[in-house]
């Protein structure tokens, strides 16, 4: 199933010249070379281990480009918020630059922390704050520095790989004070609130859209109607960043923190009617497609970004046979949902079914046979639960129980 909405999205359509978007620019490599401006300081903030960390970015531009107002793509590296560097995404930045974008590889604060709920949430918020800061700095560079990188400050697309994608997603969709996780609320004034204090205050941190290579969000309810479009790529059995909704582990250590990966995040976008495209890969790797099939994954993301940057309807493109676009396992649909207790769903293979609460504790389980399965959680307290299906692949469905 393609996650596809073809309205014109007035909030995102800009007066871009047809000539600029002709010839495959922004969706294919139309330039043969690029230039790099390295280690540009865009901000600073408290480091993970204390002291002050200077935040820098590398700027990749298409060589020989005559345009002076190009769309920007942010490319944040991965590394579980513990490690990683700008150099890790150099190849992705080079590719985007050859497509005609100005590609930015920014720092965000990483460093060792013992993973638990509080420390992991803080790590994500650091990443989100730093991603907001680089967007603000880019707008400042246009307003105060003479636009040294030839960018269009109204056409900025944010994204990244793994933890970098998570940082970008939270920078954009965790955008209301009421959404801040309770454990972090007392610290937020000192951290600078939603915007953070990593640099360039007073400028907007808004972006046009988001792309994600194997990212996730803390709660899909943080996405609201009218939010920015999203494109994602993710492996179904990813054991590092969840594809569905489940407890997060960092370097193999459970954190007690739940997160929703690309599958469940795009279901939310579908429900709200927000433009989105989702490319789902089989297997249990983590961003393995950037090694085994980078061309397809990049082409998919670049087409989406080009349509957004050029003010065109989102189409999600066409892909080779064997790769699923938005393979959201429509078969595993729980009805009714919300439920007062009883619900049913259909299975096509023998499957172990578990019901877990949001802390990951198993509340009940059953070995189910193919066909219609009926369960009743009426004895459980009202709230949100997760149905875990363990067949040929592990699948998750969120269930709301309410009387």
Q: What is the CATH number of the domain that holds 373?
A: 2.60.40.10
Statement: residue 16 has pLDDT above 50 = yes
Q: Is 349 exposed, middle or buried (0-12, 13-18, 19+ CB in 10 A)?
A: exposed
Domain C-terminal end among 294, 325, 356: 325
Which residue carries 């040929």 as its tokens? 392
> Which structure tokens are listed for 234?
């993710």
Looking at residue 386, what is its pLDDT?
77
Residue 9 forms part of a structural domain: no
pLDDT tens digits along 205-235: 999 999 999 999 999 999 999 999 999 999 9
Q: How many residues does the chain have?
A: 403
Statement: residue 387 has pLDDT above 90 = no
Collapse the DSSP code of 21 into the 3-class scheme (helix H, G, I; strand E, B; otherwise coil) and give the result: helix
Cβ–Cβ < 8 Å for 357, 258: no
Looking at residue 359, what is its pLDDT?
55
263 and 159, same structural domain? yes
Give the Cα-Cα-Cα angle 48, 51, 54 (nearest 5 degrees).
80
- What is the number of structural domains in the chain? 2
Per the prediction, the chain carries an average pLDDT of 88
Cβ–Cβ < 8 Å for 48, 112: yes
197 and 165, same structural domain? yes
248 and 289, same structural domain? yes
Residue 69 forms part of a structural domain: yes
Residue 288 forms part of a structural domain: yes
Q: Is 49 exposed, middle or buried (0-12, 13-18, 19+ CB in 10 A)?
A: exposed
182 and 67, same structural domain? yes
Band (393; pLDDT cuts 50, 70, 90): low
Residue 337 forms part of a structural domain: no
105 and 243, same structural domain? yes
Looking at residue 214, what is its pLDDT?
97
**What CATH number is associated with residue 189?**
3.40.50.1820
357 and 246, same structural domain? no
Statement: residue 321 has pLDDT above 50 = no
Domain C-terminal end among 325, 356, 377: 325
351 and 222, same structural domain? no
Domain around 379: 342-401
pLDDT tens digits along 252-290: 888 889 999 999 999 999 999 999 999 988 888 899 999
Domain C-terminal end among 295, 325, 355: 325
348 and 299, same structural domain? no
Residue 30 forms part of a structural domain: yes
Higher pLDDT, 19 or 365: 365
350 and 312, same structural domain? no
Residue 332 forms part of a structural domain: no
248 and 357, same structural domain? no
Residue 8 forms part of a structural domain: no
Distance CA 171, CA 151 (A): 21
pLDDT tens digits along 98-151: 999 999 999 999 999 999 999 999 999 999 999 999 999 999 999 999 999 999
Distance CA 297, CA 165 (A): 15
Looking at residue 2, what is its pLDDT?
35
Mean pLDDT of 160-180: 97
Residue 335 forms part of a structural domain: no
Statement: residue 309 has pLDDT above 90 = yes
321 and 266, same structural domain? yes
Band (19; pLDDT cuts 50, 70, 90): confident
270 and 132, same structural domain? yes
Looking at residue 384, what is its pLDDT?
75
Looking at residue 10, what is its pLDDT?
37
Question: What is the DSSP secondary structure assignment for residue 185, as one 8-state letter?
Answer: G
């Amino acid at each position: 199933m393609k996650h596809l909405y073809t309205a014109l999205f007035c909030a995102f359509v800009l007066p871009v010249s047809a000539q600029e978007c002709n010839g495959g620019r922004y969706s294919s490599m139309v330039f043969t070379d690029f230039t790099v401006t390295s280690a540009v300081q865009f901000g600073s903030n408290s480091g993970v281990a204390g002291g002050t960390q200077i935040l820098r970015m590398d700027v990749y531009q298409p060589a020989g480009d005559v345009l002076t107002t190009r769309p920007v793509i942010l490319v944040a590296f991965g590394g579980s918020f513990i490690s990683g560097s700008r150099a890790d995404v150099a190849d992705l930045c080079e590719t985007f630059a050859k497509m005609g974008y100005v590609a930015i590889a920014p720092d965000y604060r990483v460093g060792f922390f013992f993973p638990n709920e509080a420390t992991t949430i803080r790590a994500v918020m650091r990443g989100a704050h730093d991603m907001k800061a680089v967007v603000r700095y880019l707008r400042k560079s246009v307003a105060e520095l003479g636009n040294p990188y030839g960018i269009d400050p109204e056409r900025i697309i944010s994204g990244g790989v793994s933890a970098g994608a998570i940082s970008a997603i939270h920078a954009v969709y965790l955008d209301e004070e009421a959404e801040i996780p309770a454990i972090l609320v007392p610290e937020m004034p000192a951290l600078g609130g939603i915007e953070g204090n990593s640099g360039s205050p007073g400028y907007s941190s808004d972006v046009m859209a988001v792309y994600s290579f194997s990212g996730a969000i803390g709660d899909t309810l943080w996405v609201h109607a009218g939010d920015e479009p999203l494109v994602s790529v993710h492996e179904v059995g990813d054991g590092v960043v969840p594809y569905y909704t489940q407890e997060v582990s960092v370097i193999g250590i459970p954190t007690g923190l739940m997160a929703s990966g690309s599958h469940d995040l795009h279901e939310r976008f579908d429900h709200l009617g927000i433009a989105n495209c989702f490319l789902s890969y089989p297997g249990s790797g983590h961003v393995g497609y950037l090694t085994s099939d980078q061309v397809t994954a990049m082409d998919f993301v670049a087409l989406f970004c080009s349509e957004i940057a050029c003010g065109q309807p989102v189409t999600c493109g066409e892909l080779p046979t064997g790769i699923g676009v938005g393979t959201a396992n429509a078969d595993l649909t729980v009805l009714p949902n919300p439920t007062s207790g009883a619900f049913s769903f259909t299975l096509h293979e023998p499957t172990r079914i578990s019901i877990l609460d949001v802390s990951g504790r198993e509340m009940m389980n059953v070995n189910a046979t193919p066909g219609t399965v009926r369960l009743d959680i009426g004895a459980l307290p009202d709230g949100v639960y997760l149905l875990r299906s363990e067949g040929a692949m592990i699948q998750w469905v969120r269930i709301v129980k309410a009387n």
